[in-house]
Amino acid sequence: NVSTADFQRLDAAHHLHPFTDTRQLNAEKSRVMSKAHGVWLWDTDGNRYLDGMAGLWCTQIGHGRREVADAVHAQMMELEYSNTFFKTTHPPAARLSEVVAEVTPDGLNHVFFTNSGSEANDTVFRMVRYYWQLQDKPAKQIIIGRKYGYHGSTVAASALGGMDGMHKQAGMVPGVHHITPPHWFDFGGDMSREDFGVWAAKELERAIDELGEENVAAFIAEPIMGAGGVLIPPDSYWPEISRICSEREILLVVDEVICGFGRTGKWFGSDTYGLKPDLMPIAKGLSSGYLPIGGVMVADRVADVLIDKGGEFYHGYTYSGHPAACAAALENLRIMREERVVEHCAEEAAPYLQEKWRSFADHPLVGEARMVGLFGALELVPAKPGRTERFDPVGAVGTIARDFSFANGLIMRAVRDALVISPPLVITREEIDQLAKLVEKTLDDTLAELRK
Ligand code: PLP
């Protein structure tokens, strides 16, 4: 008979939460989530929430699918653990490596397994440098990322990301450089969206000139920046980036940890934008979050060098390709393929939600309503038309709106003053109707609070 208050007390006494202001948490108490099904979550007090964030952008197939639990159970009864180091493998790792090669874009036929997106990006950091050491010329070292980029919380991954707060708290890793993100709303100035897209891409070229082409090893970017605020690039951005990477011979690392597995309405953000990644970190939707697993997809042209010239890559995790996590991923991908989850997102759910989403641009608080696939944001502004004025301090109103959303029974996240959304891909029209009503109420509540 443990009550909600007991869990909150234990939590406050012992649990240091990720990305949480603990003083604030202890003052307000944590919500204790205890049950989930489909797009819904319940807390220990019986309150129901529509999971507008698919967990942390990961629960593509929705919560509570028994088949995944059964597959994990069966795997654990057969072989709960065995490693993939040295010359060992096991059936779920071998099978999953084939399935991920099938669903990812052409030419990415090798995978290095990790437990998370952060570890995938740490693997990228080391693999990029190792790759260039294997060439017959001095090794390139520098990796270019973007301001507001998020690639994880480990030391190398947080350095590749462009979150100032993370750099300030833990310091920076040498050999990483950041450029402006393709976020027209904040950085576009007087330029048209498409002109700005080209300008932002050319910043990569300017950085390569400044740092020296012989020093720049790779460029890393999310197809659409997620944790940075669902920043959707102008259509002109990616073709220009692809041109620069190939002309300047730098590896293109496309971080698909959020965009992968259907989020943008195709299997990968790379499919949506026509990208040909050299390395492609994946995680989250790979298992729909049922168990932790990630990986780095490696293009054949890179894998050939690593395999033919490389010898041993001194890198790996005890749980790389963990049997139970692989079983969860395999069952998740079986469900996604057989139930046509990506097609449902692209043909049913995304068009229906996008139409409603765009109508929020008429609300007095919304400066921009953007969405690709089921991946969107509402940019909240103090005055219309919106691009020139910002709330002061930045982020305060986003937090108020996020808290109203929670209180109304919809989980959304705030990034600065943008409300972001990324529901499970299996969401139905009826659930989208409910979601849209809750968003509308959240905007109205926030506006009323600001006018008080
Ligand atoms: N890369 C991207 C694009 C992400 O959004 C995230 C997490 O949100 C990560 C990497 C890190 O993944 P994880 O939290 O599994 O370490």
Tens-place pLDDT, residues 39-61: 999 999 999 999 999 999 999 99
Residue 305: closest CA among 95, 139, 133 = 133
Residue 307 lies in a domain: yes
- What CATH number is attached to the domain comprising 416? 3.90.1150.10
Query: What separation in Å is there between the alpha carbon of 65 and the centre of ligand 1?
Result: 23
- Give, in degrees to the nearest 5, the angle at Cα 35 between 34 and 37: 160
Mark which of 304, 338, 372 sits at the end of a domain.
338
pLDDT in the model for residue 224: 98
Q: What pLDDT score was predicted for residue 387?
A: 84
216 shares a domain with 305: yes
Has residue 1 got a pLDDT over 80?
A: no
Q: 128 is written with which tokens?
A: 């990029």
Nearest to 48 by CA among 438, 324, 365: 438
Pick the last residue of a domain from 274, 304, 338: 338
For residue 135, the model assigns a pLDDT of: 94
263 & 123 share domain: yes
For residues 165 and 282, membership in a common domain is answered with yes
What whole-number distance in Å separates Cα of residue 230 and Cα of residue 420? 7
Residues 398, 399, 400: CA angle, nearest 5 degrees:
95
Our mutation pick for probing the ligand 1 site, out of 53, 118, 123, 293, counting the most ligand atoms within 8 A of Cβ, is 118
How many C-beta neighbours within 10 Å does residue 94 have? Answer: 12
pLDDT in tens, 332-359: 999 999 999 999 999 999 999 999 999 9
229-259 tens-digit pLDDT: 999 999 999 999 999 999 999 999 999 999 9
Give the distance (Å) from ligand 1 centre to CA of residue 174: 21
Average pLDDT over all residues of the chain: 96
Residue type, 153: S
Phi, psi of 235 (to 5 degrees): -60, -25
Tell me the mean pLDDT in the region 183-205: 97
Ligand 1 contacts (CB < 6 A) are: 56, 116-118, 121, 150-152, 222, 226-227, 255, 257-258, 283, 294
- Distance, CA of 200 to CA of 426 (rounded, Å): 34
What is the pLDDT averaged over residues 395-409? 97
C-alpha 150 to ligand 1 mean position (Å) = 7
Model confidence at 294, pLDDT cuts 50, 70, 90, reads very high
**Would you state the pLDDT for residue 346?**
98
User: Are residues 101 and 84 part of one domain?
Assistant: yes
The predicted structure's pLDDT at residue 55: 98
* Residue 206 within a domain: yes
Question: Is the predicted pLDDT of residue 395 greater than 80, yes or no?
Answer: yes
- Most informative mutation of 257, 261, 287, 297 for ligand 1 (most atoms within 8 A of CB): 257
Closest ligand 1 atom to the C-alpha of 115? 15
Same domain, 179 and 314: yes
Beta bridge partners of 380: 366
Percent of the chain with pLDDT over 90: 93
Is 398 among the domain residues?
A: yes
| Residue 178 in tokens | 């950041």
Q: Are residues 50 and 434 in contact, defined by beta-carbon separation less than 8 angstroms?
A: yes
Same domain, 186 and 289: yes
Please indicate, yes or no, if residue 81 is contained in any of the structural domains.
yes
- The answer to whether position 3 is within a domain reads no
Domain with 280 in it: what CATH number? 3.40.640.10
Neighbouring residues of 383: CB distance < 8 A, sequence distance ≥ 6: 389
334 and 412 fall within a common domain:
no
| CA separation for the pair 377, 264 (Å, rounded) | 13
Domain check: are 74 and 164 in the same one? yes
DSSP 281: E
SS3 at position 293: coil
302 and 440 together in one domain:
no
Q: What is the pLDDT of residue 28?
A: 80
Q: Of 290, 305, 338, which residue is a domain's last?
A: 338
Domain-located, residue 18: no
pLDDT band, very low/low/confident/very high, at 445 (cuts 50, 70, 90): very high
Q: Each residue of 44-83: b (16+ CB within 10 Å) or e?
A: beeeebbbbbbbbbbbbbbbebeebeebbeebeeeeeeeb
Q: Return the pLDDT at 386.
A: 79
Q: How far apart are the first and last CA of the chain?
A: 42
Write out pLDDT tens, residues 102-141. Answer: 999 999 999 999 999 999 999 999 999 999 999 989 999 9
Residues 310 and 320 reside in one and the same domain: yes
Mutate to test the pocket of ligand 1, among 114, 150, 264, 270 (most ligand atoms within 8 A of CB): 150
**pTM: predicted TM-score of the whole model, two decimal places:** 0.98
pLDDT tens, 8-40? Answer: 999 989 999 999 988 887 778 889 999 999 999
**pLDDT of amino acid 290:** 98
Number of independent structural domains in the chain: 2
pLDDT confidence of residue 181: 98
Nearest CA owner, ligand 1 atom 10: 151
Q: In which domain, by residue range, is 132 found?
A: 67-338
47 with 149, same domain: the answer is: no
For 57-74, what is each residue's pLDDT tens digit?
999 999 999 999 999 999
Q: Given this model, what pLDDT does residue 26 score?
A: 78
Residue 26 lies in a domain: no
Same domain, residue pair 52 and 87: no
Q: What is the CA radius of gyration of the chain?
A: 22
Residue nearest to atom 5 of ligand 1 (CA): 258
Section 169-188 average pLDDT: 94
Banded pLDDT at 427 (limits 50, 70, 90): very high
20 found inside a domain: no
Under a CB-based contact definition with an 8 Å cutoff, are residues 240 and 202 in contact?
yes
